[in-house]
Amino acid sequence: MFHRSERLLLRPIWPEDWHGLLGGIADEGVVRNLAAVPWPYDESHAREFAGRAFDPLYPTFLAARAADAEVIGCIGLAPVRRGRDCGVELGYWIARRYWGQGFATEAGHAVLDIARVLGHGTVESSHFLDNPASGKVLRKLGFEPTGQVVLRHSCARGQEVEAAEYRLRLDEADSVTQRAA
């Protein structure tokens, strides 16, 4: 699956992308904000990630600048289990040199559009409390805080870290967008 936004191309991750992934994520400031990524992050981790098969119902995308194909990060949807319920979670990272330029928000809007097409009704996400910039991105995307702060394991930090949880009901987001149009 491919998607083109104003400045980005979102596309599948291929095994030969490992080098571009490594160049963006091998930064402790990036990795410490992610739950499932180890630190230090090395070539073997990048090769393993780039070689994974991804579920089309829960796509993961390489985010590249459309102008020059420079890798700026990754974004995707993942299944999440809460008791007997199964939902979908949005996760992303952006290379430090691209922080503060609106790429996370742009990529997020694109992936939420894809989530709608795939039939997902609600999307969840979270951010570690010491990463308020990610909370700002989630709010720009229309996510609302659930009011829940939970402990999530951070592989990079090797410990549980407080995280604020967010939720976006896509059908409600659509109706708000339609009313504003």
pLDDT digits (tens, 9 = 90+) for 4-36: 999 999 999 999 999 999 999 999 999 999 999
Digit-coded pLDDT (tens) for 155-172: 999 999 999 999 999 987
pTM for the predicted model, two decimal places: 0.91
- Nearest one of 137, 80, 106 to 7, comparing CA atoms: 106
Domain residue limits, the chain: 3-180
The dihedral region occupied by 3, where left means phi > 0, alpha psi between -120 and 50, and beta the remainder, is: beta
The CA radius of gyration of the chain, in Å to the nearest whole number, is 16
Output the tens digit of pLDDT for each of the chain's 181 residues. 899 999 999 999 999 999 999 999 999 999 999 999 999 999 999 999 999 999 999 999 999 999 999 999 999 999 987 766 678 999 999 999 999 999 999 999 999 999 999 999 999 999 999 999 999 999 999 999 999 999 999 999 999 999 999 999 998 765 444 434 4
CB atoms under 10 Å from CB of 93, counted, come to 21
- Nearest one of 145, 148, 136, 80 to 108, comparing CA atoms: 136
CA–CA distance, 50 with 139 (Å, rounded to integer): 29
CATH 3.40.630.30 for the 3-180 domain, yes or no:
yes
